[in-house]
Amino acid sequence: MIRNQAALDDLLARTRRFVREVAIPNEDRVETEDKVPSEAIEAMRSIGTFGWSIPEEYGGSGLTQEELALAFIELTQCSVAYRVIGAQNAGIGSECIIRDGTEEQKRAFLPRLATGEILGCLALTEPTAGSDATALKTTAVQDRSGDWVINGHKKFITLAPVADLFAVFARTDGRERGGDGITAFLIERGTPGLEPGPQTPKMGQEGAPIGEVFLRNCRLPADRIIGLEPGKGFRTVMKALNKQRINLAALCTGPAIRLLDEGVRYAREREQGGQQIGAYQLVQAMLAECKVEIEATRALILQTARKRDRGEDVTMDVSLCKYLATEMCCRVADRIVQVFGGEGYVKGRGIERFYRDVRAPRIYEGTSQIHLLNIGRRLLASAD
């Protein structure tokens, strides 16, 4: 649902200008320094990326799901690090608070998340709890004072090395698995017992740190439970991920568009056999396949976003989007490396960087296989 087309057009134009004038020229620097430059962060603040999905009454832009998808498609036509640093607050960095936080929690944290004063992260995954998030072993026990004492170990947490606010999920019912006994806590960096680990080395996505979080007798008052209701955390995170999976689909479409643009440009300038390689039909076919898949994915994302804006159930739709977009982006990256040939494999053009960067989304926020299972189960459950 687009509320004000002129305002949206202006936002998209400013985002394109940021990508063209700030983000792309600094991509090599981001990779070399493994961080997003402060001037790029300030430029993202100027277009409001940190608060795009945070309601206006808390200092954000309050974009609808459709508007957010369109904005993310533009923002991500550059290195992945920019959107991780500058837009996670507009996704899982704030969504649990938006969905189920108390008014006091919203006013305490959302305005600062919206400006980028603080960065939020979602600490759910554990060494033995990935696809089966209900198997998490982090525990929270309430003592006689009414405080909760949390112990556990989180892993592969995006922005953990630099985040200021952690949405931490812990089991409060004493059982070993199941979603009903999981509680969501808000923990600020510096809280005794919360120990973020160093950055975890990874294949790609330089400038977008991930890491571990250790919780050792981390004591919190009861008012740090999201929504003040123990045992509701798993439902909270599922609500957040339903929205985030549409976001992630859009976040994978932007890099695919950039890769195709680079491939078309190279096919028109590179010559072999006395002519541009774009004149060869097999090269044209690879580019055409990329275009078809990008446009089909974009259409599904926007269709799903509109359904969510209308309040319809999109539980299966978000799995369709997440699966299609993440798999599509990897296929596009593979084809474009092939179009570039050796130039696509070596460093210098940035193509190999995208090839590495876009592999991760097929794993996080539900692997492709988990989403296929979800789609299959829902199909069978809905059959007459």
List, by residue number, the catalytic residues: 365
Tell me the angle at which helices 233-269 and 65-75 cross, rounded to the nearest 10 degrees: 40
Q: What are the angstrom distances between the C-alpha of 66 and each of 143, 176, 224?
A: 45, 39, 32
Contact 43, 19 (CB under 8 A): no
CA 303, 305, 309, 310 torsion-angle sign: positive
Mention every residue, 6+ apart, whose C-beta is less than 8 A from residue 66. 1, 2, 302, 305, 306, 309
What is the greatest pairwise CA distance in the chain? 82
Query: Distance between CA atoms of 122 and 140, rounded to whole angstroms?
Result: 17
Instruction: Report the distance separating Cα 107 and Cα 204, nearest Å.
Output: 36
Structure token digits, residue 379:
């199909």
Task: Enter the tokens of residue 170.
Answer: 């812990």
Side chain identity at residue 276, one-letter code: Q
C-alpha–C-alpha distance, residues 49 and 51, integer Å:
5
Q: Are 276 and 269 in contact (CB under 8 A)?
A: yes
Q: Name the nearest CA neighbour of 133 among 218, 65, 233.
A: 233
Contact 146, 196 (CB under 8 A): no
